[in-house]
Structure 1
C-alpha cells in the first residue's frame, strides 16, 4: 500500500500543492498523513502516526525529501529505519529520485549513496560552524549556553502568536524579543491536530 506524507512549516502555509501531487499518483486523502510545523520539531504527530501505521511492504511517498527531516542525515536515518522494517520510500519532485522500495534499482541505490555523502558533509560543516561560533564568542568575552529567564507575560503572548495567529518562530521572536532558541525550549507543545488530510485511515492490525 502507498501512504503519503505532507508537511508545511507553519499553520499559515498551504498543503494543497503537496496533496495534489500525492493524490495525482493515486493516494487517497485518508492515507496522506500531514503536519503543519517546522522540520526542526521532533514532535510531529502526523509523521509519528504514519510510521506507526506503516507495515512491511508499504511505500511512503513524499513530494520532496525535505518534508521528512530537518537535515539530510535525519532523512537518511529514517530511510534506513524504514528499510529495516521492509517499508519503502519514494519522492516525486526532487532532482535526485529515491525509491528504496526497489533495492535492485542501481539508480535508487546511487541516490542513497549521494544522500549519505551529503549527510557527512552537512555534519562536518555543522561542527565547523559551531566551533567557529564558540571561538568568536570567546574572543568577544561572551559565554555560550547561558540559561535564559523568560517573562511569563511574553511567553503567554508568544503562545497566542503561534497557536492563534499562526506566526513562525522568527516572527514571534521579532515581536516578543525572545530568541528562537529560547522559544523552542520554553513553548509548550502545540494543540493536537488531525494527522491525515481526509479523515481516519482504515484500521490495521
Structure 2
C-alpha cells in the first residue's frame, strides 16, 4: 500500500500542491496524512499516524524529502527506522528521484543523503539571508517584521505608567483600574 504524507511549516501555508501531487500519484485521500507544523520536531500527529499505518512492504510517498525531516540526521534516522520495518519511501518532485522500496539500491541511498543535505543547507542559507536582510534594513532605519498595531501615543502613555511603577497588567490598553474597571484617559494620554 502507498501512504501519502504532506507537511507545511505553519497553518498559514497551503498544502494543496502536495495533496494534488499525492492524488495524481494514485494515493487515496483516506491514506494521506497531513501536518501544518514545523519539521523541526518529529512530534507531528500526521506523521505519527502515517508511521503507525505503515506495514512491511508499504511505501510512504512525499512530495519532496524535506517534508519528512528538517535535518540530515532526522531524515536519515527516519529512513533507517522505516527500512528496518520494511517500509520504503518515495518522493514525487525531488530532482533526484527517491524510491527506497528496494533496500539494496545504492543510488536510492545516495539520493536520500544528498537531498537531505541539500535541504538542510538551503534552510541554513535562507535563514542567513533573512538575518542579513533584517540587519541591513535596521542599519538604514527601516522596521522589519510585522507592522505595529499599537498606537504610538497609547504606547508612550503605557511606558510612562510603567516607568512610574504601575504594574504591567494595569498598563494595558484600555487601561484598567486596580479593580479591573476601564480607566478613561484624556486625549493626549495625560
Same fold (TM over 0.5): yes
1:113 shift after superposition:
4.9
1:109 aligned partner:
109
Asked whether the equivalents of residues 5 and 34 of structure 2 are also in contact (C-alpha less than 8 Å), the reply is: yes
1:108 shift after superposition:
1.5
1:10 aligned partner:
10
Partners of 2:55 and 2:29 in 1: CA distance: 18
Match of 1:102, SS state, is coil
Match of 1:23, SS state, is helix
Which protein has the larger Cα radius of gyration, Structure 1 or Structure 2? 2
Partners of 2:50 and 2:113 in 1: CA distance: 25
Segments of 5+ residues of structure 2 without an aligned counterpart are 125-144, 150-190
**1:80–1:115 CA distance, 2 compared to 1 (3 A):** farther
Asked whether the equivalents of residues 90 and 100 of structure 2 are also in contact (C-alpha less than 8 Å), the reply is: yes
1:182 aligned partner:
none
1:110 shift after superposition:
2.8
Partners of 2:58 and 2:79 in 1: CA distance: 13
1:81 aligned partner:
81
2:25 aligned partner:
25
Asked whether the equivalents of residues 72 and 113 of structure 2 are also in contact (C-alpha less than 8 Å), the reply is: no
1:41 shift after superposition:
3.2
- Tell me the number of residue pairs that the alignment of Structure 1 and Structure 2 aligns: 127
Match of 2:77, SS state, is helix
**1:19–1:75 CA distance, 2 compared to 1 (3 A):** same
Matches within 5 A, 1:152-171: none
TM-score, normalised on structure 1? 0.55
Q: Deviation digits for residues 50-90 of structure 1, max 9, x if unmatched?
A: 11111011000000011111112111110000000000001
Match of 2:38, SS state, is coil
Segments of 5+ residues of structure 1 without an aligned counterpart are 126-170, 176-205
Q: Deviation digits for residues 18-44 of structure 1, max 9, x if unmatched?
A: 000000010011100000111123320
Partners of 1:102 and 1:58 in 2: CA distance: 11
TM-score, normalised on structure 2? 0.59
